Structures are given as C-alpha cells and as structure tokens.
Structure 1
C-alpha cells in the first residue's frame, strides 16, 4: 500500500482528527464525572447524534447491508423494529432517566443508579449489574473490533491480525485520553459522516445500475422474492427481527447519553434530531444492500469479494463506484461507525470497573485524579480482552452484536423501563429482573428454543419477575419520596 494512496491518506487525516478531539476533551476532564459522563453538559444536538452514532456501530454499514444483499427486503424487519424501539426509548425513558439519576445520588453509571434508586446497602445489585455490563460489553467490543479489522483488511490488503490492531488503536487512543467528552464530540462528527455516506452511496449505485426501473428489474430477475417482505419468514421470524427494538431500553452506552444531557428540556429536541438521523441512515443502509444485488448481478466479474463475505457489500461498492478520495471518505464512515460504538462501550466498561468496583469496594476515598487514571487503565484492559476475543477471523459482526444486544436488552431493559415509570418497584424486584433476563438469554441462545430471538423471552420473563417479586415486598418511604420528586421535576421541565 503506497503512502500516496488517497484512501490511506483520508483514513490517516480522519483518525488524526479524532485523536485531536480526544486531546481537546482532555483539557475539560477534571474529575471522574467529567471522564465517564461529561459533567452532564451535553446539548440536544450532541445528545441526539451521539446516541445515534453510539448505537449503530459497524453493523449499520456491514452487517445489515450484507443481510439485505443476501436475503432481500425480508431482512428489513429489523430496521422497522429498531426505529419503533428507539422512539419509545426516547419517549418513555430518556427524560425520566435523566431526572431519576440526578435525584438518586447523582448516579454516574447504571449500577450506581440501581444501587441508589433501590437503596441497596448490600452492594449485590451493583455487583451483579456491573458483571452483566462487563460480560456482554466485552463481547460487544469484540464485534466492533472485528468490524474495524474487516475494514482495514479489505481496504488495505492487510492480514487480519495486523488489521485487528490497526482498527482498534485509534479508538483506544482518544477514549483513553479524552473520556466521555471525547467520545461524545467525536460521535457527532462520526454521525454526520455516516449519514453523508448512507445518503450518497445508494444514489450513486442507483445511477450506476441504470435508474430505478432498471435496478428493480435486475433485482427481480435475480430473485423475485427479493421484494417479498415475507420471503422465507415465519411469524416467529418477523417477531424475532422486530424484537431487536426491545434492546434499546437496556443499552448502557445509549442510556448514558440520556444521563449526560444538560437538562430534560434538551431531550424532546434531541429525540426529533436523533429519530430523523436514524430513519435516514437505516433507509440508506437497506438501499445499499438492496441496490447492490442489481449492481453485482450486472458485474459478476467484481462480485467475488462480496460473494465470499456479504458483509463487504458497502466496502466494495464504495471502492468500485467512487473516486479514490471520495471512497476514502465513505469508507471512513465505516470506521466512524465502529469507533463511535466501540469507544462508548470501552468507556462504560471502564466506568463499571472504576466507579462500581474500584471506588466502591477498594478505594472509597480515592482522589478524582486517581479515579480518572484508573478509568483510563480500565479502558486499556477491556480493549485488550476484546482484541483477544476478536482474534478469530471467522467471526461475523451481526452474530456477535445480536447476542450482546439481547443480553443488555433483557437484563437491563425491563429494570430501567419499569424503574422510571413504577414507584412500587423494589430492590429484590430489580435483582430478580436482571438475573432472570440475563440467564434466559444465555439459556435460550444455547438451546435455540423455537427459533425465537432470545431477547423476547428474556424481556418478558424479566418483566414478570420484577412485577411478581416487587409485589411480595414494598419500597421504602425514601424510595417513593425520591421517585415522586423526580417525576414532579420531569413533568415540570419536559
């Protein structure tokens, strides 16, 4: 790979810009709250775009276009489910969680919030929720590193092992240095790059294949069922794909954006921005995979890499159809998607280890400077474990993401959702919800019961466990008082 290669130069400039933002954020990071939650200072635009970018990961430009390319529009149920789930999360959870975390000990992390909200003196709720975060997020981080490695491997002809480290290095660098502010500011840049790529690419593919009518005829000629939303699907299959939307209620890296908003008033505007961004991005993603069917049917001589690994459809279209400089910018969008999510996940793992283990159980009186540096050390530790897990070149991005997404959605989703809308939820109810949700996902995944995506039974059983166990006890007067005060604050300011 020549150093004068336009794509390489574009990547280097982009990565350098992200690391520079990390050093700018370093100057605004004075304590642990700044490092892991940005001092609750995010405005509506940064909250919206950061939540969107941290959500979508490399799956948006690799996993989903690949699935659409292979199976047609029947795979787009997942996008519909995500849009519905994200909207409901913004509507019911975002503002309430922002206020509840402030009223419950100014909580910085989800385990911190659970511990304060339910007055858990034993520390059991904090420990179990932190362990769930570490287990599933390390898997999630590995998926991001796999996506980054695939990008560097196919773009620069690197070996998978070299690409693994090249893809992860920049993200680790700016997360290590700048913490939450660096992650949020870079997310905003990355979200802008992603939407640019996902609007431009399908338009150019459409033009290259002869316009709408010609493209649709080619897709139909390849397989008429590509247009069939019900192709090779069952009721359970559609429910499983739509069920991805349930995951939003329990994703710590997305919920952290709500907690970091500067006020409840910012949430409504952020919701509108974020949902517009999300709908455009998911529409573009589906279009890339779908129109790619027509392009590679017409040009089978260049379809080899995509036939070998369908998750490379966006990468190959960008390389084939665009000037190398523009292709470099478009491929940087994949790196942006990978980096934005991976950085958030590294930071949430770091905060769980630092705030919920180190500070709580080992060094209660640790200084803020010490805690920030421990947080940075934990970023490195989790990153190295995730890189080790990603070392298998046969990993598929969507498979890794689906397991981690289900784990969080079932273990935390019902607990977060019910905790912000039902004052009678108890500590034992929360504990039962986390354990039942996590165990159901693991067992269901292992036995592949009914062909149903494990998040759905996990979410249902966890919700039932919360309700039944909470009814066997009662919240303390302090818990009810704080809940009512937070709800009043929310209604006054929303």
Structure 2
C-alpha cells in the first residue's frame, strides 16, 4: 500500500510518545491512590479532556460515522441524547460525587464508594459492584480492541488476528506502567488530536465533493430520506437512540475523572470545556458520515471497502483525500480514541480487582508497592481476556459498545445519581438498584423486547427498585450525617 510507510512512521512516533508519557507518569506513581486516581490532582482542563476522551472511544470515529453513512441523519439522535446526558451528568453528579467519595472513606473506586456510603459490612455490595464492572467492562474493552484491529487491518493490510495484538499492545504498555496519571495525561493529548481530525476531515470531504450544494444534491440523489431525522426510524427507535444519554450517570471510567479532580471548583470550568469539545467532536462525526454518502456516491469506484464494512468510512476518506503524512496524523486520531477509552477501562477493571477483591478480601495489610504491582498484573489479565473476546472478525464496534454502555448505565447510573442527591437511600436500595438494572439489561437484550434499547427499561426499573426498597428501611444516623456534611461542603465550594 502506497501510504503504508508514512502512516506507519506516524503511528510509531505517536505510540512512542504515549508510552513515553506512561514512563514519566511512572515516576509520579508512589501508591495505589496515585495508580488508581492520580492522587486526586487533576486540574480542570485535564479533567475535562480526559473525561471526554475516555468517553469517546473508537465508536466516535468508526461506529457512529458508519451508522450515519448507512442510515442518514436519523442516526444522529444518538449524538443529541449523548450531549444532553453528558451535561446533566456534569451538572448533577460530577461535583457531588467528588465530595461524597472524599467524605466516605476517601473512596478510590465505585464499589469502594458504595460500600462506605451505605456502611455495607457484609462486603456484598462491593463484590456485586466489582463483578458488574468486570463483566461489562471486559465487553467494553473488547469493543476497543476490535476498533483498533479494524484500524490496523484497514491501514496496513494486516490479518485481523495480527491486528488485534498490534492495536492493543501500546495501550496495555502505558496503562501498565503509568496508571491513572499516564491515562489522564495521554487522554489530554488524544482529545486534542481527535477534535483536530473531526473538524478538518468533514471540511476537506466537503471541498472534495464540490461544496455544500453539490454535496447535498448527491446525498439527496442517493436517498432523499438521508436528510429526514424521523423518516428512517420510529418513535421507539428515537427514544432508544436518545436513551444513550442515560448511560453517562453510570460509566465508571468517566465517573473516575470526577473523583480525581483536584477540587469541586475545578468542576464548573471542566464542564464548560468538556461540553464544547464534545459538541464539536460529535458534530464532526455526524458530518464525516453524512458527507461520506456524497463522496462515495460520486466516486463509486473507491466505495468497495465502505460497502463491505460501513464502519470504515472515516478511515477510507482519510486515506483517499489526504497526503499520506497528514493521513497518518488523522488516522492516529482513531488510535487515540481507542487507546484513551481502552486504557481507562483497563484501569477501572484493574482497580476493581486490586482494591475491591485483593486488598479487601485477600491481603488487607498489603503494602502500597505490592498493590500497585497487583494492579499492573490485573491490567494484563483483563487485556488477554478482552483480546480473546474480540477474536471474532464479525464483531461490530457499535454493537459491543451499546451492550456495555447499557449495562453500566442501568446498573450504576440510578445508584450513583440517587446516592448523591437523596440521603434517604439505603444499602438494600443500592443493592436492589444494581441487581435489577444489570439483570434487566441482560434479559431485555436477550429477548429484544419491543425493539427498545435495553438501557431505558433497565434505568427505570433500577430507579424504582432503589426508591421502593429504600422506603422499606431507613439509613443510619451516621450515613445521614456524612451525606449532609458532604452536601454542605459541595455547596460551599462549588
């Protein structure tokens, strides 16, 4: 392939830079708190861009543009739902969770927070939360590895099996070495690269197809319904796409960024930065898929790779329209999206295994050095399981992401949201919410009931379970006192 050498060199330079950041972060990682949450030291810019980059995985540059390319603007309801959900998460959860985790045993992980917030002496809440994280995050990690494999397969002509390992290796390396600081610092670089690619690419595609008028005429000639946001879907379809926004309240890798902020004051500024970044990225993503319809309609002779797999639309446009060196930088944006999210997911899984299983049940008196190395070993273990799950070349990125996103959104979303706004929530209410949310998603997905995205019934049923079960019991006085103290701290410092 003529672009192989420039693109390969660009990729190698990019990956080397990310691994170098990992080694720099290694020097600042002294204990488990540093490895898991970076010592709660993230400023507003790093918090904002790290939260955005960890959220927007390979589906941003592969899954969503592919869906827009196939079905037109009716698929953009996902983007609208995500923007609304992300804003509400920043507004209602971010600052409160930062304070609540500090007031509840300086919790480092979600299971740790739930256990302390609801005074669960049995360890059941911690175990079930950690199991949910491991099950759904392993699926989520597999989606990132599939996206990376697709990138290396399409760009360098590798076999899918080899591309799996090539795509995952660099992410595993810097996550293993540097932990949370490496992940957060690299996320900031990766978020910058992603927004650059998603602003530049649609502009160049538009110019290549002859401007706005010619582009829109070509899209309309292909199928007039491409412009109709309602025509190609149903009411349940729109609700399902908008329902993606509910997932934000329960994503451990995003919530970890809130927990790691250096103060509540940083949250408001981070929210503004993150929302601007997100709106520009999602707008660019929709534009890439939409304008891609016109480009490949006008140039059908180069449309075969996209016809075979519509999730390649960004990759193919980049290879066709840019100088190989620029293409290498832009294709690195896909690698950035994959690496940023996969690294966060690996770290959260590692945290659950280390903090919530190993330290809590096996080695209560383990040294900080031992715990950090156990965390690194868990990164490798989860990586190998996810690579095995991703081995099927028929996997689609958006499908894997949607299942994991729903699992977290329904199991943890209501539990996190209600736990930071209602002091009447009890331990049994939290347990019921997590179990009902997770089970509903699994059952609903299996039977594909009503064609409705499983996160919606999962979120509703989990919320009802939390409220009804909490009403049966009462929280202890110490739980209420800690909640009130944290809430006062939040309002005093926000």
TM range (shorter): over 0.9
TM-score by length of structure 2 reads 0.99
Q: Give the corresponding residue for 1:493.
A: 493
Give the 3 Å change call, closer, same or farther, for CA 251–208 of structure 1 in structure 2: same
Contact in 1 for aligned 2:429/2:465 (Cα 8 Å): yes
Secondary structure, aligned partner of 1:39 = coil
* 1:56-455 mapped onto 2 (5 Å cutoff): 56-455=56-455
Which sections of structure 1, spanning at least 5 residues, go unmatched? none
TM-score, length-scaled by structure 1? 0.99
CA distance in 1, matches of 2:326, 2:234: 41
Q: Is the 8 A contact 1:3 1:9 kept in 2?
A: no
- Runs of 4+ more than 6 Å apart: 1-4
Q: Distance in 2 between the 1:203 and 1:439 partners?
A: 44
- Structure 1 residues 390-441: Cα deviation after superposition (integer angstroms, max 9, x where no partner): 0000000000000000000000000000000000000000000000000000
Residue matched to 2:43:
43
Q: Structure 2 vs 1, CA of residues 3 and 285 (structure 1 numbering), >3 Å: closer, same or farther?
A: closer
Say whether the 8 Å CA contact 1:86–1:245 is kept in structure 2: yes
Q: Once the 2 structures are TM-superposed, how far is the Cα of residue 234 of structure 1 from its aligned partner?
A: 1.0
Following TM superposition, by how much is the alpha carbon of 1:231 offset from its aligned partner in structure 2, in angstroms? 2.0
Hey, what's the Cα distance between the residues in 2 that align with 1:466 and 1:336?
38
Look up the SS of the partner of 1:2 in the other structure.
coil
Task: Identify if the C-alpha distance between structure 1 residues 311 and 2 changes in structure 2 by more than 3 Å, giving closer, same or farther.
Answer: closer
CA distance in 2, matches of 1:481, 1:409: 28
In 2, Cα distance between the equivalents of 1:73 and 1:391? Answer: 32
Q: CA deviation at 1:232?
A: 2.1
Given that residues 107 and 116 in structure 2 are in contact (C-alpha distance below 8 angstroms), is that contact kept between their aligned partners in structure 1?
A: yes
Q: Aligned partners of 2:147 and 2:3: how far apart in 1?
A: 23
Distance verdict in 2 for CA 1:453–1:432, change over 3 Å: same
Q: Distance in 2 between matches of 1:3 and 1:286?
A: 26
Deviation at 1:4, TM superposition (A): 7.7
Contact 1:47 1:261 in 2 (8 A): yes
SS in 2 for 1:5: helix
Give me the whole-angstrom Cα distance separating, in 1, the residues matched to 2:405 and 2:185: 24
Distance in 2 (CA, whole Å) between partners of 1:4 and 1:324 is: 8
- What is the alpha-carbon root mean square deviation over aligned residues? 0.8
CA distance in 2, matches of 1:225, 1:137: 36
Give the whole-Å Cα distance in 1 for the aligned partners of 2:191 and 2:56.
Answer: 9
Whole-Å separation in 1 of the counterparts to 2:371 and 2:227: 54
Asked if the contact 1:237–1:452 (Cα under 8 Å) also holds between the matched residues in 2, the reply is yes
Q: For 1:493 and 1:4, how far apart are their aligned partners in 2? A: 52
Deviation at 1:2, TM superposition (A): 8.5
SS, match of residue 210 in structure 1: coil
What's the CA shift string for 1:17-37, capped at 9, x where partnerless?
000000000000000000010
Q: 8 Å contact 1:244–1:455 — kept in the other structure?
A: yes
**CA displacement at 1:233 relative to structure 2:** 1.1
Q: Once the two structures are superposed, what CA deviation does each residue of 1:172-220 show, in whole Å capped at 9, x if it has no partner?
A: 0000000000000000000000000000000000000000011001000
Alignment partners' CA distance in 1, 2:226 and 2:39: 48
Task: Report the 3-state secondary structure (helix = DSSP H, G, I; strand = E; otherwise coil) of the residue aligned with 1:164.
Answer: helix
Check conservation: 1:236, 1:452, Cα contact below 8 A: yes
Number of equivalences: 494
Distance 2:197 2:125 in 1: 42
Task: Check whether the contact 2:3–2:324 (CA below 8 A) recurs between aligned residues.
Answer: no
